[in-house]
Amino acid sequence: MIKVGVVGGTGYTGVELLRILLRHPGVTVMVITSRGETGRRLDHLFPSLLGACDLQFTDPAEADFSSCDVVFFATPHNVAMREVPALLDEGVRVIDLSADFRLKDVTEWERWYGETHAAPSLCEEAVYGLPETHRDAIREARLVACPGCYPTAVQLGFLPLLEAGVIDPMRLIASCGSGVSGAGRQAKLGSLLTEAGESVAAYGVAGHRHLPEMEQGLASMTDAPIQLTFVPHLMPMSRGIHATLFAPLTKEVDLQHLFEQRFAAEPCVHVLPAGVHPATRNVRGANTCQLSVAQPQGRDTVVVMSAIDNLVKGAAGQAVQVMNLIMQQPETAGLDGIALAP
């Protein structure tokens, strides 16, 4: 059995991670930490887990991860970078769901996050946790930086086009919508039902922290410079990411065949038949990305539609997919759930 610890199990990503891990046939959860909930039982905080786990939250300062094979960080940014070095020194492998190690350029990270990075030497070592592009490196990694939810949907959508060199990489556009859970579990005015319900609003238009992560990942798919215009929107739903991607075509190509061929061997990416479009309701609770591609009116713009559950393929599910690779398990172990409908 794989012995795992979870740092920060009280947010939406943390409880989703625990939901998946507790159903994984090859995993035993050993430790769950929280400063604010120390001593409280997990299933008392989240009754949805009643009957699945009776562990209590441990104070992070007192947590013993020495028996763990893997430790997950489901924490806000700036926590993992302070605690990960000690775990790595103990031989524990780490999967970080926060943004602390996603960017290779430490100066860029500090510019976007407004503070000094506490473990800059690990930024270069950390392997980016998108299995569809970094599978072999993930298997050997001791530190994996899991992608953000928007970056997962956007990068998977542009991947076949950039690899094939059939679009202008300097004119990429991503218009994306996210469910309110993407804002976290903290009490925020903008997350209230009366504020977010029955409304759609753009935010972060002048600059969003996921932008440099996306441009870094997209640049690795091609030899040419990358420029992405990214506009996120808050959607009146609890879960889901829908990304509509645009790019000018530079070559004639069978787009449907290109996408089907690129993802034919990918267990967590489904290319829909021509003319069928993805919807967030069709990936809710599942570790899958649904994609469709079109060339409207036969003009020179390709449109890709990408849908994921922001808490699963966009976070916790992808982290478990990474763990499976690291621990030499079947890649989809514990992730074979079918999307919830309705």
What's phi and psi for 106, nearest 5 deg? -65, -40
Residue 126 zone, left/alpha/beta (φ > 0; ψ -120 to 50; rest): beta
- Under 8 Å between Cβ of 313 and 289: yes
- Under 8 Å between Cβ of 287 and 335: yes
Question: At a CB cut-off of 8 Å and minimum separation 6, what does 298 contact?
Answer: none
- Under 8 Å between Cβ of 296 and 303: yes
Name residue 136's amino acid.
D
What's phi and psi for 147, nearest 5 deg? -65, 160
Q: Which of 53, 68, 146, 149 is catalytic?
A: 149
Question: Is position 53 annotated as part of the catalytic site?
Answer: no
> Distance between CA atoms of 304 and 290, rounded to whole angstroms?
10
Q: What is the CA radius of gyration of the chain?
A: 20
What's phi and psi for 307, nearest 5 deg? -130, 135
Which DSSP letter does residue 281 get? G
Q: Residues with catalytic annotation?
A: 149
